Chains A and B, each alone.
Chain A
Amino acid sequence: MSAELEIDWTRCQGRGLCIELLATDLTSDPWGYPLARRADGHKSGTVILAEEQLEAADEAVKMCPLSALKLRTTARQ
């Protein structure tokens, strides 16, 4: 399984809950918006997550106060 966190940037207001829940993958940019820690972590609006983060990511999706997150999982070939 691989997982991508899809961020609706038009909704996100940088409340930062996802940054706390996914601290190993996300950090905050200078304006408080979620930023992938990995240099190549951003791919057209999504953040690629480590496999063991799935549970935390699921939590982040549910907790986001602006419903700006979606989790996309794909079975690895």
Chain B
Amino acid sequence: MSTTSIPKLVLGVLEEPRLLAAGPDASWSQHLDTFGPVPSATGDSQILAQWEASGLSGRGGGSFPTARKIAAVQRSVARTGKAPVLIANGSEGEPLSYKDQMLLTHAPHVVLDGIELTARILGASSSYLVTKAGAHPRLLQAMSERGESSVTLHATDSHFLAGQATAVISSLEGGPSLPRHQPWHLSDFGLGGAPTLLVNVETLAHLALIARYSAHWFRSAGTEEDPGSRMVSIHDAGHYQVHEVHGGSNLSVLLEQLQIPTKDIHAVLVGGFHGQFTRDLDISLSATSDAAQYPATIAVGAGVLEILRFGTCPLERASEIVDYLAQSSAKQCGPCMFGLPTLARDLQAVAQRSNDPALVERIERLGELVTGRGACHHPDATARLASSALHVFDDELQAHLSGQCLHKF
């Protein structure tokens, strides 16, 4: 039997909810009935080992291994003797993402458990929960149900870049919610110079459940490359839905299970405005973005999927998004401030069927020009999205350059 005969694992929507197992709008008592209390401190070293064995990766978009992030903070604490700080990031600046908001509304106690546990294990001197102000009433209610809480709620702006790690730190320090120049790691020098662990709220929720049910349980969902479950926000023709799905889910299986008609789907934007397009639906949504090692996977980022159907010109949609991203620039770094509007204008010319043959090369060159030249990765990701559109929609591009559009008759 050759190795290729191993049946492909086809995963989609989670059979039983995990993060949302206590039901919608779960109260403290419903939460306790479902999950039981936070594990006691006597098992903290085992919990750390379980977190590491789980293979959990960050759910805020970067997909960095969470256990490694935690270990870096612990090393920094051991080296400097400074007390660490924990920041739970629920800023969710991505306009198409709703999953953090859903989690904070319906399962706030799972997130708060994750904060409590992680802060305890790290020995954090303080913990912050950063969200849009709209989420605060529900969180305050949840915190009062739990009794004494050492978490400080902080309201962040709702613009696109407000959720970037250094923008969150800046906001917590009383500055603007804008990315800043930060050549060192937050684990070494974060909030007020303290070793800082900044993780997405969904990541913390997973940590809370792994601590209770083990790494083995966590890995019983998802794939080897992308273990566990994850939340996704799916957009289809102005409607959105949030679901908990298997890591490494197959996109077409997922859509079928959710009864989203696939017949006239032209492409899907995976990973939100900092993501990329795919026309191939037989592809795995994964934490990994290594296309060379895993050719049939696409980086799921923070779990945003936007469905593009026939009749909507994908180049027009890409142009709208890049325009939004150019306007979302913090306008602090020259290459981003000047480069992105130029890039957006050129892509708009493509979308409007300009026949200038130099446009495509100019867009690619501008993309290379802004990449790696800013305080954050906004220019890099914007360039990647524009480039992804030109490559994936090559047929549309050729039609546009000759004054036609395959989606408009």
Q: CB within 8 Å of B: which residues of A? A: 6-14, 29-33, 35, 42-46, 70
Contact = CB atoms under 8 A, between A and B. Distances in A.
30 contacts: A6-B183, A7-B373, A8-B181, A9-B332, A9-B334, A9-B335, A9-B374, A10-B179, A10-B180, A10-B333, A10-B375, A11-B181, A12-B333, A29-B334, A29-B335, A29-B339, A29-B369, A30-B338, A30-B369, A31-B334, A31-B335, A31-B339, A33-B335, A33-B373, A42-B372, A42-B373, A44-B372, A45-B183, A45-B373, A46-B183
Interface core residue of B179, B338, B373 (most chain A CB under 10 Å)? B373
Contacts of B181: 8-11, 45
Interface in B362-393: 369, 371-375
Nearest to B373: A42
Contacts of A43: 372
Interface range, B side: 10 to 19
Nearest to A39: B368
A71 B363 CA distance: 32
Interface string B117-158: 000000000000000000000000000000000000000000
Interface in B319-351: 332-336, 338-339
Given A31-B338, A45-B372, 4 more contacts: A6-B183, A9-B373, A45-B374, A70-B183
Contacts of A46: 183
A57 B372 CA distance: 20
Interface string B157-201: 000000000000000000000011101000000000000000000
A44 B372 CA distance: 5
Contacts of B375: 8-10, 45
Interface of B is mostly: loop
A41 to B, nearest CB: 9
A9 B333 contact: yes
A10 B183 CA distance: 12
Contacts, number: 53
Interface of B: 179-181, 183, 332-336, 338-339, 369, 371-375
A33 B335 CA distance: 7
Contacts of A45: 181, 183, 372-375
Contacts of B332: 9-10
Given A31-B339, A45-B181, A45-B183, A12 B334 contact: yes
A11 B338 CA distance: 15
Contacts of B334: 9, 12-14, 29, 31-33
A13 B374 CA distance: 12
B393 to A, nearest CB: 27
Contacts of B339: 29, 31
Contacts of A6: 183
Contacts of A70: 183
Interface core residue of B180, B332, B334, B371 (most chain A CB under 10 Å)? B334
Nearest to B335: A33
A29 B371 CA distance: 12
Contacts of B372: 42-45
Contacts of B183: 6, 45-46, 70
A63 B336 CA distance: 24
A67 B15 CA distance: 56
Contacts of B369: 29-30, 35
Contacts of A13: 334
A14 B299 CA distance: 35
Contacts of A31: 334-335, 338-339
Contacts of B180: 10
Contacts of A44: 372
Nearest to B374: A9
